[in-house]
Amino acid sequence: MTRNRKSRFGGFFLIVLLALAGAGFWAWERYTGFADAPLSGIEAGETLLVERGDSLPVVLRKLREIGVEDGQSFEWSALAKQMGAAGRLQVGQYNLDPGMTPRELLTAIRDGRVVQKRFTIVEGWNIRELRAALARAEPLEQETAKLSDAELMKKLGHAGQHPEGRFLPETYLYTPGDSDLDVLRRAYDAMDKALANAWRRRSPDSVLKTPEEMLVLASIVEKETGVAEERPQIAGLFERRLRIGMRLQTDPTVIYGLGANYDGNIRKRDLLADTPYNTYTRAGLPPTPIAMPGVDALDAVAQPADGEALYFVAVGDGSGRHLFARTLAEHEANVARYLRNYRAARKAAQ
């Protein structure tokens, strides 16, 4: 009797083990099939926004609202735990690509592979143009729209500093939830580093006394030419003028001083109207930068080209290039050449 009882118990135990093994195998098959099977209901261009404080159930609810019904909560929880993603849901916006699997989605959220947007500060922009472009950038949070320039700089931690020229022209990545102030802070820090690097590499006989003066001159060089190889030549020319006390006489500073009154043309009265930025009426550098100089303009001012030229004028053929002259007589001849080229180009365009 005892032997038969043991035999029956052993058979029952074996059946239970086989049943458990079968259930475990079925659960494992279902789990692996779920984890690596493409999610249904995802259309091209769909995104998922994970916000601060969102738990896995909240994320699953958002997926269902999008149209993804795949998997049970326990399957998602088991997968998240196995991947180490359960408590590491990174805030941000994520692309949902057709064919994406639950494992791929949780990997992206765990590792913070968020959708990134781009905002480019263009070389030569002034602060008005920069702020207008930021106001149009989406989906940037707008924190500075109602701030004056002075309030903006205070918010950035640089109270009393003029904002012109302080933000490095570059492309900056941002994610939904970032603000215009976040972008400006990164651009300010980037300019700070770029200016410090250029100042360390400046020519030992530079006429510039401070990094601030370097930033001002670089902004003028930036506005004077878009031809990269000309920047060191123009920087050298302005350095020579500053050294001998000759006025810079550069149109972009006059234009900046006119502000909203500039209508696209510079007239003789504009050149004679004295403002702190009119380098025809005042010697030396203007009080602040007039634009955002790029790294190339900073490098040109740090290492200006040698030479004897004190004058330059546009070629006038649409190339953006300039003619350089050592004497006023040579310069006047170049001006005459510019006028001929300019008139010929206008005639050809008619």
**What's the pLDDT tens digit per position in 115-172?**
888 999 999 999 999 999 999 998 889 999 999 999 999 999 999 999 999 999 999 9
The pLDDT, as a whole number, for residue 16 is 47
Confidence grade of residue 301 (pLDDT, cut at 50, 70, 90)? very high
Reported as a pLDDT band with limits 50, 70 and 90, residue 18 is: very low
pLDDT value at residue 246: 97
Confidence of residue 26 (pLDDT cuts 50, 70, 90): very low
Cβ–Cβ under 8 Å, residues 284 and 207: no
Residue 235, both tokens: 């920087």
Mean pLDDT of the 169-177 span: 90
| Residue limits of CATH 3.30.1490.480 in the chain | 35-115
- The string of pLDDT tens digits covering residues 276-296 is 999 999 999 999 999 999 999
Going by pLDDT thresholds of 50, 70 and 90, the confidence category of residue 29 is: very low
Residue 207 in 3-state DSSP? Answer: coil
Q: Which CATH architecture has domain 35-115?
A: 2-Layer Sandwich (3.30)
Mean pLDDT of 60-77: 89
**How much of the chain, in percent, has pLDDT values that exceed 90?**
68
For residue 64, is pLDDT > 50? yes
Residue 347 scores a pLDDT above 90: no
Mean pLDDT estimate for the chain: 89
Residue 321 banded pLDDT, cuts 50, 70, 90: very high
Here the contacts of 36-39 (C-beta below 8 Å, separation 24 or greater) are 36/101, 36/102, 36/103, 37/70, 37/101, 37/102, 38/98, 38/99, 38/100, 38/101, 39/63, 39/68, 39/70, 39/96, 39/100, 39/101, 39/102, 39/105
> What average pLDDT score do residues 41-64 get?
90
Q: Name the more confident of 343 and 286.
A: 286
pLDDT per position as a tens digit, 204-237: 999 999 999 999 999 999 999 989 999 999 999 9
- Residue partners of 11: CB distance under 8 A and separation at least 6: none
CA dist 198 and 124 (Å) reads: 18
Contact 57, 73 (CB under 8 A): yes
Contact indicator for 294, 219 with CB cutoff of 8 Å: no
Q: What is the pLDDT of residue 72?
A: 83
pLDDT at residue 196 is higher than 90: yes
91, pLDDT greater than 90:
no
Cβ count within 10 A of residue 168: 23
Q: How many CB atoms lie within 10 A of CB 247?
A: 14
Tell me the CA end-to-end span of the chain in Å, nearest whole number. 117
- Answer yes or no: pTM beyond 0.85: no
Question: Angle at Cα 345 formed by Cα 297 and Cα 280, nearest 5°?
Answer: 45
Name the pLDDT band for 44 (thresholds 50, 70, 90).
confident
Q: Is 20 exposed, middle or buried (0-12, 13-18, 19+ CB in 10 A)?
A: exposed
Cα torsion angle, 188, 259, 128, 315, sign: negative
Residue 265 has pLDDT above 70, yes or no: yes
